[in-house]
Each structure stands twice: as C-alpha cells, then as structure tokens.
Amino acid sequence: MLHVIIILIQVENNYLFDPNLLEEICMNETTTYLKGGVSLSNPGEGLKLRPLSADDFAKGCYLDLLKQPNLVGQIFTETILSRFNLMKSTPSTYFIFVIEDLEKQKIVASATVVVERKFIHECSSRGRIEDVVVDEGYRGLQLGKLLVVVGEFLSKKLGCYKTSLECSDGKVEFYEKVGFKIDGKHMVKRFSS
Amino acid sequence: MLHVIIILIQVENNYLFDPNLLEEICMNETTTYLKGGVSLSNPGEGLKLRPLSADDFAKGCYLDLLKQPNLVGQIFTETILSRFNLMKSTPSTYFIFVIEDLEKQKIVASATVVVERKFIHECSSRGRIEDVVVDEGYRGLQLGKLLVVVGEFLSKKLGCYKTSLECSDGKVEFYEKVGFKIDGKHMVKRFSS
C-alpha cells in the first residue's frame, strides 16, 4: 500500500517577537520626551522600528553595531542562530528591537527589554532595558531617547511593575531626561574581561 | 479486545532547579569571605542550603520572608504555583535558593540568581543576584554573605561572564566586603507602587 504523507510547514517570520506588540505601542502611546517630529511610529526619514530578525545576522550589521566583530563570520553563525532561537523559545522574556535604515538595509540602533518574573508584587514582573546602542553616524537624531521610551512602554505593556537600567555616572543626565530616577548603585563581579 | 494501558508517572522532586548544582558548588569552591566556620556546605547548625521547593509555599514562610503576606492564602495558591512552574519550565534562567531551619521547618534566608542570555561576549550570559533576604531572627550569622557568595559561584558555574546586583547606597560597603565593585548607577521608572 502506498502511503502519501503530506507535511505542512508553517512559514514563520524570523522576528524574535511578535511585531504587533511594537505596533500597538506606536498606536496607543504618546510621549513628551521626543522632539522634532520623532515618534514611536516615525523614527525618522527612511528608518523603521521593528523586532530583531534572524535575517539581521546574515548582514552582519547587527553584530557590528554591538561592537562584536569577532562574532561575525561563518564560524559563529550556528552559535548566533542557536542563541537567537533560545531567546525566541524562552516565553515572553527577550525583546530586542532595532531601527533599520531601509535604504541601506543597515541596523543603526538597538535596545533590549528583558522581563524577569518575580514572586513579589503579587507575582508581577520587572523589565530591564539593556544594550542601548546607536550607530555613530546616526547620533543626534533622538534615536537613543526613542529606544528608551519604547523600552519603557514595552515593559509597561508586558505587565511589569517597573523597568530599570544600569548606566555609567556620565549617562545619568540623559536617562533623567526621559524620566528615570537614580535608585542606588549597580555593583559587579566579573569572571572574564 | 481489552487493552491494558500502563502509564508511568515520573515522580519529580519539587525543586525549582537541580540540587546537584548547589552540591557541586559546595564541593568545589572555597571563599575567604566567610568566617567562623560558615561554609557553603555548612550554613550553620541546623541550617540547610537548598533550591526553593514548591512545597515551601504551603508553609507560607517563604512568602513571609519576602514580606508579601498578601500573597499567602488559598486565593493566591494557584497563582504562586503557576509562577513557580513558569520559572521552572524556563530553561536555565531562575535559580532561587533558600536556607532552611530544619528543626523549625522554616525558610530563614533566600536569594535568586537570574541568568540573561546575550549576543555580546561571544553569546555569553550574565547573572544577576536578586532579592537577597535574611529573616530578622537569623541576622549576624553571615547568611547574607553566604547567599551572595553562593550567587556568585552559581553565576560562574552557569557560564556567566559576570554577575551583578543593585543596592542602596547604604549597602555598598557590605557588598564590597564580598568583592563586588561599583559599576555605575541603577535607574528606575515605576509603573505601580
């Protein structure tokens, strides 16, 4: 007897998280922190805000932005995609969003919201804004502020009771301008450089 | 025809993570930060260091320790266990460990290591030591130091390139005594009290 097996393959997009999340924020949230026409839905001319995509690694530019040129190259592709998939499969935890220059197909800014589940605050969660980075050629366009504002709104939308970030003393003023307050020290022990 | 179906149920322990992890640390790591005979394998007379267990919620004492009495009670049991199971099912992320007074069957101290995956540092991870708390009646026994040292060794064993914590200015000296260094400010935006 001949068995015919039909396998349906679901074509998934390659985004780290559902882009609708960002779109809903863009539609519903406003902020007074951004000036000069920059908004959540309009990061700037020719620029687009979206989740990180697995396709961004092939271009290399995302890793260049993170100043991790040693991660670019054939040898590490598997490692990077494996890390991307691990983040994607971890439920509601990793939200890396990027700003792309559409014409140049280049990632020019990026930030991450990481969500941590707690027992405190009636089993609430907290957000953390991590790895805020803007390409040198795209500074002065309020993209840094935009990333932090999006990180704040995303944390709120994800049900966090607070969001936080760590920064050097020199960056305090910048973050105060977008409504963050100093809440003590960040202390570290390093195991490798 | 009679079909006999045998279902094998695996009896799992109720620990949040594999207790062997802590035992391996206790066996292999030494520290100069702890005095008076306190060590990773011997937290003190009648005390035991182990992972948080789902059974600890029935006693209520773990939530008492977190100063979350509003979470104790029938109404929240389902929420708490659901949160515990979510943490447990999130791969290699949540490591809450406690110190139990065995005679009183009471959780007297607790801390958490949360692991965050990164692309930077060649797809490394960082640890965070969170929610370090010692019952008022058990202070002065170096349990706080012990929790931080265990958090450090656990982060290291889990492959993190660094571990960090946030603290108020008044606690800086305490954490410096166990080898942590100030690395900037912790800044926060709160959405609820």
The answer to whether the CB atoms of B117 and A167 lie below 8 A apart is: no
Whether the ipTM is more than 0.95: the answer is: no
Residue B1: predicted pLDDT: 57
Mean pLDDT of chain B: 88
More confident: A132 or A77? A132
Residue A8: predicted pLDDT: 44
Is the pLDDT at B179 greater than 50? The verdict is yes
Nearest residue, CB atoms, A191 vs list B131, B160, B183: B160
Q: Tell me the C-alpha distance between A17 and A96, whole Å.
A: 8
Residue A11: predicted pLDDT: 40
Tell me if residue B40 falls in helix, strand or coil. Answer: coil
Tell me if residue B167 falls in helix, strand or coil. Answer: strand
Q: Which of residues 72-91 of B touch A (CB under 8 A)?
A: 76, 79-80, 82-83, 86-87, 90-91
The domains of chain B, with CATH numbers, are: 19-52+92-176 (3.40.630.30)
Read off the amino acid at residue A58. A
Is the pLDDT at A69 greater than 50? The verdict is yes
Residue B120: predicted pLDDT: 85
pLDDT 10s digits, B130-139:
999 999 999 9
Is the pLDDT at B7 greater than 50? The verdict is no
Residues of chain B found within 8 Å of residue A86, distances taken between Cβ atoms: 91, 117
Read off the amino acid at residue A56. D
pLDDT 10s digits, B88-112:
999 999 999 999 999 999 999 999 9
Q: Tell me the C-alpha distance between B66 and B133, whole Å.
A: 7
Residues of chain A found within 8 Å of residue B130, distances taken between Cβ atoms: 116
Residues of chain A found within 8 Å of residue B121, distances taken between Cβ atoms: 68, 192
pLDDT 10s digits, B47-58:
999 999 999 987
Residue A23: predicted pLDDT: 92
Is the pLDDT at A187 greater than 80? The verdict is yes
The answer to whether the CB atoms of A166 and B187 lie below 8 A apart is: yes
Residue A143: predicted pLDDT: 96
Read off the pLDDT band of B185 (50, 70, 90).
Answer: very high
CB pairs under 8 A between A and B: 187
Q: Which helix (H) or strand (E) holds B81?
A: helix B74-89
- Please tell me if residue B93 touches chain A, with a CB cutoff of 8 Å: yes
The answer to whether the CB atoms of A167 and B180 lie below 8 A apart is: no
